[in-house]
Amino acid sequence: METSPLAQRLATRFVAGENLEQALGVARSLNAEGITVTLDHLGESVSTLAEAAEARDVYLRTLDAIHEHGIQGNASLKLTQFGLDISYPECLANVDRLVDRAAALSSFVRVDMESSDYTDRTLDLVKTLHARYGATGVVIQSYLHRSRADIESLCAAQIRVRLCKGAYLEPPAIAFPAKADVDKSYFELTQYLLLHGTYPAIATHDEALIGRICAFAGERGIPKESFEFQMLYGIRRDLQRKLVSEGYGMRVYVPFGKAWYPYYMRRLAERPANVFFMLRNLFR
């Protein structure tokens, strides 16, 4: 699949390219439209510490390139790509190097959230590195029952949160199974972040929900520059441009790398709704 010209054309709809230079080209184009980026090098769930070190080095080059080329953007990563399944201390050491570099460059590293098996370790690592450098934040998923308590703790520590709905298949004891409950939780958590958070990132493509969020912010007198919306590369470009034209901050999540096929298959296999989401936006 990864060497098929047809499959590669499909992948480029949602993935910026196989290498950093291609990702930087996409980032420049988005910056020219007033959109900032977060670059994500694909390749989660490594099986050796050597692979984790390679991922670390790619991200170090990415942070340097963002700075050297004047890109308005930062980096996002998954801890399983940095050895979390193999060794927590080694994973912490790898990510520590990145956040240290980001702080020196006045940049930022966002740690993505994976399945609930990783939530506690992810939050522990982010809190540790935020206390050292301050140049890191984390993702919280609104479909988890625990997310309100996690967000309150993160806001108290002034750690930046990106809020998403959640893409992993979780049991009802851990996550809301019904979309209506996930949406309700998302809106309530967004309200809390807008009132108490540090530059929250509202990551959703749900236009109706975005309208409610904008209305809430306007009613409460929350400045548009105090938060941002985030969306995926290749998804709802029309809505991205609309929000920028209205004065809202917009950041696009730009994945790149050769491991795009596992990235797609993992997302599509985890939840059937992801298949329909991608197909809708492929033909939109």
Which are the catalytic amino acids? 112, 162
Residue pair 224/200 in contact by the 8 Å Cβ criterion: no
Query: Both tokens of residue 74?
Result: 């930062």
Query: Both tokens of residue 44?
Result: 């989660």
Instruction: Tell me the backbone φ, ψ of residue 283, rounded to 5 degrees.
Output: -100, 0
Residue 193 buriedness (CB in 10 A; 0-12 / 13-18 / 19+): buried
SS (H, E, C) 113-165: CCCHHHHHHHHHHHHHHHHHCCCEEEEEECCECCHHHHHHHHHHCCCCEEEEC
Strands 136-141 and 73-77: unpaired
H helical segments located in 133-271: 147-156, 179-196, 207-219, 237-245, 260-270
Nearest-angstrom CA–CA distance, 129 and 95:
8
**DSSP state, residue 81:** G
